[in-house]
Structure 1
Amino acid sequence: MWIFIIAELSVFALLFLLFSYLRSSDSVTFLAGQQTLHPQAGLINTVALLTSSACVAQAVNAVRQNKSAAFGWLLLSIPVGCIYIVVKLWEYQQLVRQGFDLDTNHFYTGYFLLTGFHLLHVVLGIVILGFMSVRLWRGCYLPSQISGLESGACYWHMVDLVWVILFPLIYVIH
């Protein structure tokens, strides 16, 4: 799992560098593009992903302590994480309605590719959380046997970490 996470972080790092380079070469276009975004949507997504990650951390901790609350925490992380998906799709819809898409300019190409790639990781993370929830419900994770749960939690935290970098890169930094 660590090799996969490092590989994914490397891909995102390269995309971040490319986006930053393009921004530095055409700051006027990027500033204009940023002004069409919804920073409140980005903030809601940040809070949703951080909260979902906190729920996952609570679930892992509860399993380690052999507490029954683990399932509830893990299950709660799923709808909270889904808030990101709903808000991001709404944001895409708003931009497309205004006539912005992948071909508009370098800003929107970078925006849609970076956030779309991240969105795919969020969807995969939700699937993993669902899979782990089923396994937890079936009693597959014990305090001495939680490597699968920890691996899935690490993936979800990686998705969260990427957004914590992506949000300021796209929405905040001028």
Structure 2
Amino acid sequence: MTATATPVEIPSLQGLGTTWYRRGPRYWVRRSLSALFLLTVLAFFCYIALTLYLGVPRSDLPPGVRRVWDAVQTGASCVTLVQGWVRQRRDHRGRLLDPPAPDAFRAAKRAEAGRARYWSRAGLVPLLLAAPVLPALAAWCVGWFAAMLTVRAYPSEVGARRWLEAHNGQSSTS
């Protein structure tokens, strides 16, 4: 007499629910809405960064120096945009090599949320002090988020799929 294992329930992932398993229309709607929300927040951040940068009293600088400063900012923004993209892709590749199990992913998200609350309060004054270089920081964020939003699968999905395969003893495609 052989004992059959009870299948494990599909774990729910933050922001994706259980739609990650089938990757159907509901999954893509969730990912699209998340991307739209993040891009809206990012656009607002870029607007604030540009407004603060333009609000810095640059009128005290001679016109030639002002043009050079603006060119340096533009160049720095282009470089940091690429650096943000590359950094996120490298981090993503590393997380795919050792993706988190669903419980580890939830614990990491809870820890991140606590740090985010701290930095949102403590980061306001340095943000205002960084106004002259804020466009480059905003460009880095654009690169980082653009790379994050354009991946085929999140590490949490890969980790949940591997966890599910290990606990169900069945194979599935990732």
TM range (shorter): 0.3 to 0.5
Higher RCO, Cα 8 Å, sep 6+: 2
Which structure features the higher share of helix residues? Answer: 1
Q: Give the alignment's TM-score, normalised by structure 1.
A: 0.35
Larger Rg: 2
